[in-house]
A and B are shown apart, each in its own frame.
Chain A
């Protein structure tokens, strides 16, 4: 996995924690971008052991 990919992964994880973590003070805002509800994205796509991800990418080529 490249440094760029790692940076992207870190950013996505940070955004996930921002959107899906933290004490809820007064209700929950539903945040969406381009009609896609981010709170429901869950960011499961970034569940990645680096080596496993590379293998998946290689396999899919």
Chain B
């Protein structure tokens, strides 16, 4: 058997019995055990883990581990997480009652570069990066977001997601999620012409990055 990691948590009772809790120093890794030969790309497995992830977040805020990390022993999980453990514990204690939100909006920007137009992969990747950075969002929409959504957040920042979209990432108190829902409706009413997707709650991810602290 192997265990597919889902997140890092402060307490084992935040995990069990929804998932297996594996001690990793002072923290716990939530995971779903699967047969060794189970493909990670199995659609049903993806949906199942997505569901467990959502249920875990209902319990308590945790740090999300990107899908794909599997371990076979507690020692392996602890060793892989050891270098981040102290920082993660501090973050989890500080943001225990907070979750992340994302607001994605279609961006105006340059067309996606095509691989065939570049001689090397490096040139293509640079062009792809540049294209994503050049994505822009409608000024009026951005102003509306700054007025309606950003003030609900403890922290927030805009980030280009790719050449087609920009995203506002926010950290918000769980108790303010109903306010966020109302703010989303108000944003939709004010900017009915702008396609966007506002979603929350999500586990900690963007705000585990020191650059956004």
- Chain B window 59-90, contacts with chain A (Cβ cutoff 8 Å), 1 for yes, 0 for no: 00001111111000000000011001000000
Which of B40, B188, B202, B206 is the one whose CB lies under 8 Å from A31? B40
Q: Max chain A CB contacts within 10 Å: which of B192, B195, B199, B203?
A: B195
Q: Which of B48-56, B118-126, B150-158, B173-181 contacts A (4 or more CB under 8 A)?
A: B48-56
- Interface size of B in residues (CB-CB distance below 8 Å): 44
- Chain A window 5-40, contacts with chain B (Cβ cutoff 8 Å), 1 for yes, 0 for no: 000011101110111111111111101110000100
Give A20 to B8 CA distance when docked, in angstroms: 17
Q: Are the C-beta atoms of B40 and A29 separated by less than 8 Å? A: yes
Give the interface size class of chain A: 20 to 34
Q: Are the C-beta atoms of A49 and B188 separated by less than 8 Å? A: yes
Give A17 to B206 CA distance when docked, in angstroms: 11
Q: Secondary structure at chain B's binding surface: helix, strand, loop or mixed?
A: mixed
Give A18 to B58 CA distance when docked, in angstroms: 16
Q: Are the C-beta atoms of B68 and A31 separated by less than 8 Å? A: yes
Q: Are the C-beta atoms of A23 and B84 separated by less than 8 Å? A: yes
- Chain B residues near A25 (CB, 8 Å)? 5, 65-66, 69, 80-81
- 27 residue pairs from A and B, CB less than 8 Å apart: A14-B54, A15-B46, A17-B64, A17-B202, A19-B66, A20-B66, A21-B66, A21-B206, A22-B65, A22-B66, A23-B65, A23-B84, A25-B65, A25-B66, A26-B69, A31-B46, A31-B67, A38-B41, A47-B104, A47-B164, A48-B196, A49-B188, A49-B191, A49-B195, A49-B197, A52-B192, A52-B195
Knowing that A22-B203, A52-B192 are A-B contacts, what are 5 other residue pairs whose CB atoms are under 8 Å apart, sorted by A's residue number?
A: A17-B202, A22-B63, A29-B40, A47-B106, A47-B196
